[in-house]
Amino acid sequence: MFDAIVIGSGMSGGIAAKELCERGLKTLMIERGRKLVHGESYTDWMQPWEVPNAGLIPENELRQDYPVQSQCYAVSTATKQYWVKDSEHPYSTPKDKPFSWIRGNHLGGRSLMWGRQSYRLGPQDFEANALDGHGSDWPIRYEDLAPWYDHVEKFIGVAGSREGLTQLPDGEFLPPFALNDAELQFKQAVEAKFPGRKVIPGRVANLSKAQPHHEELGRGSCQNRSLCERGCSYGAYHSSLSSSLPAAQRTGNLTIVTDAIVHSIVHDPKTGKATGVRVIDSNTKAGRTYEAKIVFACASTIGTTQILLNSKSEAMPRGLANSSDMVGRNLMDHLIGPSVFGILPKAPDTFYFGRRPTGLYIPRFRNVSEPGAFLRGYGYQGGAMRTGGRGSALAPQLMGAELKARARKLGPWLVYISGFGEMLPNPENRVTLDPNKTDQWGIPLTHIVCEFGENELKLASQMVIDGKAMIEAAGGQVMSANSEAGTPGLAIHEMGTACMGKDPKSSVLNRYNQAHDVPNLFITDGSAMASSGCQNPSLTYMALSARAAHHAAEFLKEGKL
């Protein structure tokens, strides 16, 4: 018998386990994937000539094993071991409503491969559902989560600048990764032309300057190599393997089990509580059950939903914690795809050192103080880079000194900005279980129905209009623009299927991420989100996890669980 079980070892599971262990709870972490070891399991040591096939996965292998995963920029021959083979992990969608489920099954989960952009939701994000009637009203407000944002930012290390924006609250930051000269020129022009818009350094969970508490865990400062998706042997970015799990392990309270597929959560109808977790060994397919006083579901949005729906019983025929019929509903992802690319011919004739782990960020500026033609809003991520060796590869007539001289000649500055838009909660966007098909472990396959609505498409159109205007304001020449929304799922920010709310009839979790129906079940991954905001959500998942772990430990100590 454990005090706590944490299902999943990624972003939220790692923080939940750390916080529970540091509060003295004997905690079992269950991971469906294989064991990885910080440093030893990475490929960041590879030189360019050591990466098989120059990083390109053969076309027949892509079609067979990675048709979905390969839509993510970070999938290559150096990283493919971190991503599931789609051929071995099927799911279904309607033909006219595709959803790209990007995932990795291993210790540390997607915390190894995430983009590390770390932004707080602001006060208006927690109030939006109540104001416009979409989704369930958040049972908390920004003030409730602010100290937990502080707590997590200090622990993981977030590099960023303080800007004083209500729509993007400041945090506990390390020094920012500075904008380069072209980005500074872009910033000056945009902010002068468009009052209310800001161009700031992207806030990123990389250690620009490691602090003593980071170094105690073996973490070092960022080396500006931009190889983060391969894993970082320096521990310079936050992941479960480099950061939260070592912190949990040093307490002596953590037990980790890998290669264990969670089948369902055991529920006792007499007490109304969860008593444990059923798992299937991924290799032998043998079953076993672990018992605990509290359970944290952190298996990622769709994974947690699959577990809850498969945990149905006579007492809960629609699935665990699903008296509201809201488990699986309100699936959201951020709208990405609309982007603008251009040249800055008047940018400074300078260059820069290294490859930063981030670029620029333009916080939301639509519907901040006044309502507009659509609900909610969007921000932009992007950057400027200088091309080098202009034309050298296309000048085969050149040899020797002439070729070297051409290769040294710097080309123009390029600039791009890509929109990230908010998706409204919609109960018809949902995850269900296939009644007939199961995976290799006998667990029903997930069926995902998700599409962008009219409001999201309005956002997409305006993103491109605003993007062009900003590049042109900086004296740039727009070379291309994409107005098409990407397939849902490609932002890899799926969330919302076990949402928090005030009313048990229209939500799954209360203000402590505690299931309305099962008091000792806590859900703190993306499932818990009542709305998406337009900011990258991982920092919010971690803050919710830390907060919920604190309250769960207190409730357990007080005998409330």
Question: Do residues 262 and 30 touch, judged by C-beta distance below 8 A?
Answer: yes
Q: Which residues contact 99 (CB under 8 A, 6 or more apart)?
A: 93, 448, 449, 450, 487, 488, 489
Res. 498 pLDDT band, cuts 50 70 90: very high
Measured in residues, the chain has a length of 561
Question: Do residues 261 and 279 touch, judged by C-beta distance below 8 A?
Answer: yes
497 and 482 within one domain: no
Q: What is the pLDDT of residues 26-79, one digit of tens each?
A: 999 999 999 999 999 999 999 999 999 999 999 999 999 999 999 999 999 999
Chain centroid offset of residue 490 CA: 11
Average pLDDT over residues 78-89: 97
Confidence (pLDDT) at 403: 76
353 and 273 within one domain: no
Report whether pLDDT(102) > 70.
yes
Hey, what amino acid is at 521? L
Distance CA(362)–CA(117), nearest Å, equals 13
For the record, the structure tokens of 273 come out as 């509580």
351 and 328 within one domain: no
Res. 395 pLDDT band, cuts 50 70 90: low
Let me know if residue 361 belongs to a domain: yes
CATH of the domain at 76: 3.50.50.60
Let me know if residue 107 belongs to a domain: yes
Q: What is the pLDDT of residues 317-336, one digit of tens each?
A: 999 999 999 999 999 999 99
Let me know if residue 214 belongs to a domain: no
115 and 14 within one domain: yes
Res. 371 pLDDT band, cuts 50 70 90: confident
Let me know if residue 155 belongs to a domain: no
For the record, the structure tokens of 432 come out as 């269900």
H/E run at residue 130:
helix 123-132
Confidence (pLDDT) at 396: 65
Q: Which domain holds residue 548?
A: 1-150+222-228+236-333+431-450+493-561
Distance CA(345)–CA(284), nearest Å, equals 61
265 and 188 within one domain: no
Confidence (pLDDT) at 394: 55
Three-state DSSP state, 455: helix
Residue 415 phi, psi dihedral angles, 5° rounding: -135, 140
Reference 376, options 426, 428, 430; nearest CA is 426
Let me know if residue 533 belongs to a domain: yes
Question: Do residues 512 and 522 touch, judged by C-beta distance below 8 A?
Answer: yes
Confidence (pLDDT) at 482: 95
Let me know if residue 549 belongs to a domain: yes
Confidence (pLDDT) at 335: 98
Report whether pLDDT(112) > 70.
yes
Confidence (pLDDT) at 387: 86
Count of H helices and E strands in the chain?
11, 15
Confidence (pLDDT) at 178: 97
Let me know if residue 210 belongs to a domain: no
Res. 475 pLDDT band, cuts 50 70 90: very high
Confidence (pLDDT) at 409: 82
350 and 460 within one domain: yes
| DSSP symbol at 89 | S
Q: Which residues contact 474 (CB under 8 A, 6 or more apart)?
A: 185, 186, 189, 190, 344, 415
521 and 471 within one domain: no
83 and 130 within one domain: yes
405 and 266 within one domain: no
Distance CA(498)–CA(495), nearest Å, equals 8
By percentage, how much of the chain surpasses pLDDT 70?
A: 99
Give the position of tokens 């799954």. Answer: 508
Distance CA(516)–CA(201), nearest Å, equals 40
277 and 198 within one domain: no
Number of domains in the chain: 2
Q: What is the pLDDT of residues 189-246, one digit of tens each?
A: 999 999 999 999 999 999 999 999 999 999 999 999 999 999 999 999 999 999 999 9
* CB neighbour burial string for 205-244, b if at least 16 within 10 angstroms, e if fewer: bbbbebeeebeebebebbbeeebbbbbbbbbbbbbbbbbb
Distance CA(10)–CA(33), nearest Å, equals 11
346 and 314 within one domain: no
Cα dist from 57 to 68, 69, 85, 111, 114, whole Å = 13, 12, 13, 23, 20
Residue 286 phi, psi dihedral angles, 5° rounding: -75, 145
269 and 252 within one domain: yes
Which residue pairs from 87-90 have beta carbons closer than 8 angstroms and sit at least 24 positions apart in sequence? 88/440, 89/439, 90/437, 90/439, 90/445
Choosing from 439, 469, 487, the residue where a domain stops is 487
Question: Do residues 444 and 360 touch, judged by C-beta distance below 8 A?
Answer: no
What mean pLDDT value characterizes the chain? 96
Longest dimension (CA), the chain: 84
Choosing from 487, 507, 532, the residue where a domain stops is 487
Confidence (pLDDT) at 400: 82
**How many other CB atoms are there within 10 angstroms of residue 133's CB atom?**
9
Confidence (pLDDT) at 384: 97
Let me know if residue 439 belongs to a domain: yes
**How many other CB atoms are there within 10 angstroms of residue 255's CB atom?**
15
Average pLDDT over residues 281-302: 98
For the record, the structure tokens of 213 come out as 């508490």
Question: Do residues 413 and 479 touch, judged by C-beta distance below 8 A?
Answer: no
Distance CA(231)–CA(235), nearest Å, equals 8
Q: What is the pLDDT of residues 509-541, one digit of tens each?
A: 999 999 999 999 999 999 999 999 999 999 999
Report whether pLDDT(389) > 80.
no
For the record, the structure tokens of 108 come out as 């540390």
